[in-house]
A and B are shown apart, each in its own frame.
Chain A
């Protein structure tokens, strides 16, 4: 087991190396001025003190842009490994800490009541921003994922046990619709019908000071439409997956045995068949993890939710390359961890999987 885990871990690290090479390479293939020079070009022209130029050089140093590609990659990787992921051009968040203000002589600045004045420290470190923005995205994704499982698995089982029935056909077609619907179109449709036409749900954002509802209820009210989009769009795949696995299990010999023993159909399906379909479902964990923390890019953008997905969209459209790089890397790390977890879970759940480090 330990050998297997170590092997998988080593492989994950290797994959992350590859991912980082691709991401860095993408940023570096741009000819001419690099992204930091482009960003601060106008400021550098206006600035006479040379401060901006100094800052730009510092920034370029961080990304290894002053060196040739390969060396630059190593420099950048070194910084990444040390947790210096760079600063976003457009975002900043308050870290929650405060800085005590002092005057020129170092004496504390006091207000009329004798308290020392403070200034909140804001940070545009991409890691801080990812941490801050992914909170709301996580909440949304968590609710959506729970709902998705709660709806998709029973439907998938029903459609497998009553194959070629009415439920089965409607589930198949609905699942297909879910897979084929683009999120931006579905989101726009929901907004048009339920928000503009019927006025049941708010148009955008997370809170509405005029709603008069308690904050929590108000937030939930705002989240109904985005969560609907997420659930409907992802439910199809899961439903089909459950159905396929269930059908496979239902054809197995031990189900025939269970039926031959005279067990009730309910027992056969939920005790003997369903438990075995759970094994392949474990592999889905690989996909859930990035989905949980990585945000929903399009959905958040449509419904103007200030999560990490919308941040990524704004970063791309406004040329905030540091944030986009960090976001991609962050998602890749999540994917790798998810895959690793699902492999390990698979081994734990299914005793038939042998944990040998050798070839398959």
Chain B
């Protein structure tokens, strides 16, 4: 055997060894035998495994498409009068008393004249029953109900998301201050939270909305005031949740490690605490969204929410209230039932998604 041949053989053996080695590694390596799944992936997979949360997600998707894309396709506008109308002239009687000289008697006499002021004919719209042209008919103002349903959805969904976003920001701020620093900061903030928790929900919102009503702000701006009120009276729950979570996290080892590496307070809060509180906040926010939509529609129902002529689901149902609404309640269910169904669907969807998220984030907490 020459030197060369020996070398080649050794090389071959080495290669075989390598191959065997790599085969061995292939069998053992975790990355090849099992797929590495990131926590986010796991959450998503658990979330999509639950049927109810899927139903919620699909419902919400349809609602969004309906209320944001729908108006672009609808032939009618939000405040466009359409449907059946009659030409009406109003007749206004006037009466004047004039002192006139009576030629027969030769004396001044009081004479009463009655005359009628007749206006130019104008259109009066009335409710119409559902037809192919107007899927849910038109309401008492002559607005197309189906189109107003879409615009109402826009308001409810947008307002819900804006309010919950603001609430989370305010709640995170105060909650993390309170939980992280403890001491008197915690004391003060938590007492304020207690105060907000003891305020009656709907009545105080009504009082606030009535006060804002008396300012006489224009209708478009009213919605922003409404958001501000809902946020002002709603942030306390999230602040309390955040504080509780942080109190727990503060005691964990990785916070000790963060402390030991000398990280700045800001970095500790924003990089290490808040990301770990986020799952609970997302769950709470999703569940809270349904609540906000309910509150908004209740306020609109009471005439303190989204102002006329803008459309809101609550307002559409309020047309059934009182003696005047009896006719609509009895004969025109297409005006108010769809709005109620929309509210229920939207709130249900958020609740299902929130429940699904909770189970997905923390499988141990599975109810």
Q: Which residues of B contact A316 (CB under 8 A)?
A: 203, 206-207, 210, 302, 304
A-B contact pairs, 22 of them (CB 8 A): A18-B191, A26-B208, A179-B347, A179-B351, A182-B294, A182-B314, A184-B314, A184-B317, A184-B318, A185-B336, A189-B340, A244-B367, A290-B200, A298-B302, A312-B206, A313-B206, A316-B203, A317-B302, A319-B210, A321-B207, A328-B207, A332-B199
Q: Is B219 interfacial (CB 8 A cutoff)?
A: no
Residues B191 and A23 in contact, CB atoms below 8 Å apart: no
The total of chain A residues at the interface (CB under 8 A) is: 55
Q: Which residues of A contact B351 (CB under 8 A)?
A: 176, 179-180
Residues A177 and B214 in contact, CB atoms below 8 Å apart: no
Provided the pairs A290-B200, A324-B210, A335-B200 are in contact, do residues A176 and B191 lie with their beta carbons within 8 angstroms? no
Residues A336 and B290 in contact, CB atoms below 8 Å apart: no
Q: Is B194 interfacial (CB 8 A cutoff)?
A: yes
CA distance A257 to B46 in the complex (A): 32
CB distance from B282 to the nearest CB of A (A): 19
Q: Is A258 interfacial (CB 8 A cutoff)?
A: no
Q: Which residues of B contact A297 (CB under 8 A)?
A: 202-203, 206
Q: Is B162 interfacial (CB 8 A cutoff)?
A: no
CA distance A94 to B126 in the complex (A): 44
A to B contact number (C-beta, < 8 Å): 141
Residues B203 and A18 in contact, CB atoms below 8 Å apart: no
Which of the residues A26, A180, A331 comes within 8 Å of B347, measured between beta carbons? A180
Q: Is A109 interfacial (CB 8 A cutoff)?
A: no
**Could you list 18 further interchain pairs (A-B, Cβ under 8 angstroms) beyond the known A18-B195, A335-B199?**
A27-B207, A27-B211, A177-B344, A180-B351, A182-B298, A182-B314, A182-B344, A184-B317, A185-B344, A186-B340, A188-B320, A188-B336, A298-B202, A298-B298, A301-B321, A313-B206, A313-B302, A332-B200
Q: Is A14 interfacial (CB 8 A cutoff)?
A: yes
CA distance A144 to B198 in the complex (A): 23
Q: Which residues of B contact A247 (CB under 8 A)?
A: 367
Residues B203 and A192 in contact, CB atoms below 8 Å apart: no
Q: Is B286 interfacial (CB 8 A cutoff)?
A: no
Provided the pairs A185-B317, A317-B303 are in contact, do residues A23 and B210 lie with their beta carbons within 8 angstroms? no
Q: Is A73 interfacial (CB 8 A cutoff)?
A: no
Residues B211 and A335 in contact, CB atoms below 8 Å apart: no
Give chain B interface residues in 283-310, CB to chain A under 8 Å.
Answer: 290, 294, 297-298, 301-304
Give chain A interface residues in 312-350, CB to chain B under 8 Å.
Answer: 312-313, 316-317, 319, 321, 324-325, 327-328, 331-332, 335-336, 339
Q: Is B189 interfacial (CB 8 A cutoff)?
A: no
Which chain B residue has the least Cβ–Cβ distance from A330?
B200
Q: Is A43 interfacial (CB 8 A cutoff)?
A: no
Q: Which residues of B contact A177 (CB under 8 A)?
A: 344, 348
Residues B211 and A19 in contact, CB atoms below 8 Å apart: no
Q: Which residues of B contact A244 (CB under 8 A)?
A: 367
Give chain B interface residues in 306-337, CB to chain A under 8 Å.
Answer: 314, 317-318, 320-321, 329-330, 333, 336-337
| Residues 188-229 of chain B, each 1 if its beta carbon lies under 8 Å from chain A, else 0 | 000110110111101110111011001100000000000000
Q: Which residues of A contact B333 (CB under 8 A)?
A: 192
Interface size class, chain B: 35 or more
Q: Is A29 interfacial (CB 8 A cutoff)?
A: yes
Q: Is A136 interfacial (CB 8 A cutoff)?
A: no
| Residues 168-197 of chain A, each 1 if its beta carbon lies under 8 Å from chain B, else 0 | 000000001101111111101101100010
CA distance A290 to B200 in the complex (A): 9
CA distance A329 to B116 in the complex (A): 54
CA distance A179 to B333 in the complex (A): 23
B interface majority secondary structure:
helix
Q: Is B343 interfacial (CB 8 A cutoff)?
A: yes
Residues A192 and B200 in contact, CB atoms below 8 Å apart: no
Which chain B residue has the least Cβ–Cβ distance from A294?
B200
CA distance A231 to B208 in the complex (A): 28
Give chain A interface residues in 14-37, CB to chain B under 8 Å.
Answer: 14-16, 18-19, 22-23, 26-27, 29-31, 35
CA distance A283 to B244 in the complex (A): 18
Provided the pairs A179-B351, A188-B329 are in contact, do residues A30 and B211 lie with their beta carbons within 8 angstroms? yes
| Residues 297-319 of chain A, each 1 if its beta carbon lies under 8 Å from chain B, else 0 | 11001100000000011001101
Which of the residues B195, B339, B340, B352 comes within 8 Å of A176, measured between beta carbons? B352
Q: Which residues of B contact A182 (CB under 8 A)?
A: 294, 297-298, 301, 314, 317, 340, 343-344, 347
Q: Which residues of B contact A325 (CB under 8 A)?
A: 207
Which of the residues A184, A312, A313, A339 comes within 8 Å of B198, measured between beta carbons? A339
Residues B207 and A324 in contact, CB atoms below 8 Å apart: yes
Q: Which residues of A contact B198 (CB under 8 A)?
A: 15-16, 19, 332, 335-336, 339
Q: Which residues of A contact B367 (CB under 8 A)?
A: 240, 243-244, 247
Tell which of A18, A29, A183 has the most Cβ of chain B within 10 Å. A18
Tell which of A19, A29, A38 has the most Cβ of chain B within 10 Å. A19
Provided the pairs A18-B195, A179-B351, A196-B329 are in contact, do residues A324 and B343 lie with their beta carbons within 8 angstroms? no
CA distance A35 to B367 in the complex (A): 50
Provided the pairs A30-B211, A182-B340 are in contact, do residues A15 and B195 lie with their beta carbons within 8 angstroms? yes
CA distance A317 to B318 in the complex (A): 14
Residues A191 and B329 in contact, CB atoms below 8 Å apart: yes
Which chain B residue has the least Cβ–Cβ distance from A243?
B367
Residues B195 and A19 in contact, CB atoms below 8 Å apart: yes
| Residues 335-364 of chain B, each 1 if its beta carbon lies under 8 Å from chain A, else 0 | 011011001100110011000000000000
Q: Which 6 pairs, one residue from A and one from B, show the smallest C-beta to C-beta distance?
A: A18-B195, A185-B340, A331-B200, A180-B347, A180-B348, A316-B206
Provided the pairs A31-B215, A319-B214 are in contact, do residues A328 and B348 lie with their beta carbons within 8 angstroms? no
Q: Which residues of B contact A18 (CB under 8 A)?
A: 191-192, 194-195
Residues B199 and A22 in contact, CB atoms below 8 Å apart: yes
CA distance A302 to B200 in the complex (A): 20
CA distance A328 to B211 in the complex (A): 14
Q: Which residues of A contact B318 (CB under 8 A)?
A: 184
Provided the pairs A182-B294, A247-B367, A335-B200 are in contact, do residues A26 and B211 lie with their beta carbons within 8 angstroms? yes
CB distance from B134 to the nearest CB of A (A): 21
Q: Which residues of B contact A11 (CB under 8 A)?
A: 191, 194
Tell which of A188, A297, A324, A325 has the most Cβ of chain B within 10 Å. A188
Which chain A residue has the least Cβ–Cβ distance from B290?
A180
Q: Which residues of B contact A192 (CB under 8 A)?
A: 329-330, 333
Provided the pairs A29-B211, A247-B367 are in contact, do residues A181 and B200 lie with their beta carbons within 8 angstroms? no
